[in-house]
Amino acid sequence: MKTQTVGYVETKKFTIKEDLKLTSGEILGNVSLAYETYGELNTGKTNAILVCHALTGDAHAAGWHRGAKKPGWWEMLIGPGKALDTDKYFIICSNVLGGCKGSTGPSTINPETGKEYALDFPIITIEDMVNAQYKLIEHLEIDKLLCVIGGSMGGMQALQWTVSYPDMMKKAIVIATTARSSPQQIAFNEVGRQSIILDPFWNNGEYYDKERTPRSGLAVARMIAHITYLSDESMYIKFGRDLQDKEELSYDFTLDFQVESYLHHQGESFVKRFDANTYLYITKAVDYFDLSVDGSLVEGLKGIKAKVELISVNSDWLYPSDQTREILTALQANNIEVHYDELKSDYGHDAFLLENGQMNFLISNFLSENVVEDLMKVNIPTISKHATIKEAAEIMFDEHVTHLPVVTGEGVLIGIVTAWDLSKSIINGCNDLTEVMTRDVKYCNSTNSIEFIAREMKKYDISCLPVVDDNLKLEGIITTDQISHLISNY
């Protein structure tokens, strides 16, 4: 596998023309999003993938900024030859609404006051973030995304996309996340927020023009959060109980252990790149995230149309696999096409940012998986319900087919007639097509995977499925013979 980079990239900015109505009912105007793109959008605009970042991420998902010491945060997945192959796909990543890396948030200048918003910035939700991203996709003139993908808070966004805009993507990859924040997750976020709020230099959010800022509070918030991103195993492997730059315990409150020094380093590094108020707003958005309806996740996810890949991490205790399997069960209850994988890793929650091999394998397989659209026959012969048995037999004989979809004048599927049905009609002396055709037709969509429809055919013991759009208009047909031919070529 090639492991090339997308090279040097620049962050762009998009400003939403109209006001954005938020979940809270507040109106936010003059909203801008920072974003980056990698690869080329094809002429049909069918190869776009939206990447959603995690809690403290940004638009810089891949490639290099000039003078930077590190590439984008998902460099291991984005680029030529990687899972998010920029030779195939057009990758988009934006800094979320409320962020502090170029998008409108509490650290942005409020045009009405000429000062930073600070706590005048309205409370936002994951849904608001997604609605702002939708405006960006509209601006790029993309009618339908090939896929939306994200991990952690990015996974929440990806899942929210499937609920808010079910017709806007073919696939979604939801990684190391939940469909509704648990009390424990909310508790960790609240402790982090309180560490900021209780910092004497937070000054009720008004610190932007001050010499002293709430660095200590933000650093502690990061230290608390970072513990949840690791696993007990990974901490033992990396640190054990090893001492930091000393031979024996100090018996005071200085740093003794390597793990202590590591957490302090994480906190100190974080305050150099992130805004304290932004941390308050984004963690609150995560706390509010709940896609259930009246307590039912099955009800909340029932409108999803995308094919979904769910990925959890076996050592993740922040968003444990049980919460991903809860999403899986709800999707299956709604007969939504879904696949589940679990990363085997000692890294804990952060595995989706570190497990290069497993992540590339799972994502590339899911994106390149054959779908019905790849195999189905189009421009197939059809028949009206007003036709005779003889007319149906003549079409089957002339076109060398054994299945004839029965459609209305507008091409809407209303039934199917088979060669077996015609044989029965001759035995019974029937000439009325409506008496022999099957009305309760099993059908599929062009975006269904071959694996899924193969299971459906086996389940119902049928050899052919009409392919229809969302309005039941016939688009084509797929048979077991075509699937067998595909398998034989592997």
Question: How far apart are the C-alpha atoms of 413 and 441, rounded to whole Å?
Answer: 9
Do 343 and 314 contact (CB within 8 A), yes or no? Answer: yes
Residue with tokens 């492997």: 237
CA 22 remoteness from chain centre: 21
In the structure encoding, which two tokens stand for residue 289, read together? Answer: 């995230």
The 8-class DSSP code of residue 123 comes to P
CATH architecture of 374-488: Roll (3.10)
The two beta strands, 32-38 and 27-28, are unpaired
In the structure encoding, which two tokens stand for residue 484, read together? Answer: 């067998």
Cβ-Cβ contacts under 8 Å for 94 (sequence gap 6 or more): 14, 33, 34, 35, 36, 59, 103, 132, 133, 136
Would you list the domain boundaries of the chain?
Answer: 12-180+290-369, 374-488
pLDDT at 188: 97
Cβ-Cβ contacts under 8 Å for 12 (sequence gap 6 or more): 34, 35, 36, 37
- Label residue 190 exposed, middle or buried (CB < 10 Å: 0-12, 13-18, 19+): middle
pLDDT at 489: 45
In the structure encoding, which two tokens stand for residue 116, read together? Answer: 């930073």
Identify the bridge partners of residue 403 per DSSP, sorted by sequence position: 418
Question: How far apart are the C-alpha atoms of 199 and 452, rounded to whole Å?
Answer: 54
pLDDT in tens, the chain (490 residues): 345 899 999 999 999 999 999 999 999 999 999 999 999 999 989 999 999 999 999 999 999 999 999 999 999 999 999 999 999 999 999 999 999 999 999 999 999 999 999 999 999 999 999 999 999 999 999 999 999 999 999 999 999 999 999 999 999 999 999 999 999 999 999 999 999 999 999 999 999 999 999 999 999 999 999 999 999 999 999 999 999 998 899 999 999 999 999 999 999 999 999 999 999 999 999 999 999 999 999 999 999 999 999 999 999 999 999 999 999 999 999 999 999 999 999 999 999 999 999 999 999 999 987 788 878 889 999 999 899 888 999 999 999 899 999 999 999 999 999 988 888 887 778 878 888 888 999 999 988 888 788 888 888 999 899 999 989 999 999 998 878 766 544 4
Instruction: Provide the CB-side half-sphere exposure for 295 (13 A, CA).
Output: 0
Question: How far apart are the C-alpha atoms of 355 and 77, rounded to whole Å?
Answer: 10
pLDDT at 450: 84
CA distances from residue 487 to 92, 331, 376, 454, 483 in whole angstroms, order as listed:
34, 28, 15, 11, 6
In the structure encoding, which two tokens stand for residue 108, read together? Answer: 């942005």
- CB crowding 411-431: b at 16 or more within 10 Å, else e: eebbbbbbeebbeebeeeeee
- DSSP code per residue over 229-254: HS-HHHHHHHTTT-BSS-SS--SSSS
Name the residue among 34, 31, 86, 32 with its Cα closest to residue 59: 34
Answer whether CATH 1.20.120.10 is correct for domain 12-180+290-369. no
Q: How far apart are the first and last CA of the chain?
A: 20
Cβ-Cβ contacts under 8 Å for 272 (sequence gap 6 or more): none
Do 139 and 116 contact (CB within 8 A), yes or no? Answer: no
- DSSP code per residue over 172-206: EEEES--SB--HHHHHHHHHHHHHHHTSTT-GGG-
pLDDT at 320: 97
Q: Hey, is 322 helix, strand or coil? A: helix
Q: Is-same-fold flag (12-180+290-369; 374-488)?
A: no
Which ranges of 271-354 would DSSP assign to H, the alpha helix?
Answer: 276-288, 297-300, 321-333, 351-354
Q: Hey, is 167 helix, strand or coil? A: coil
Give counts: helices (H), strands (E), the chain: 17, 16
Catalytic (active-site) positions: 152, 316, 349
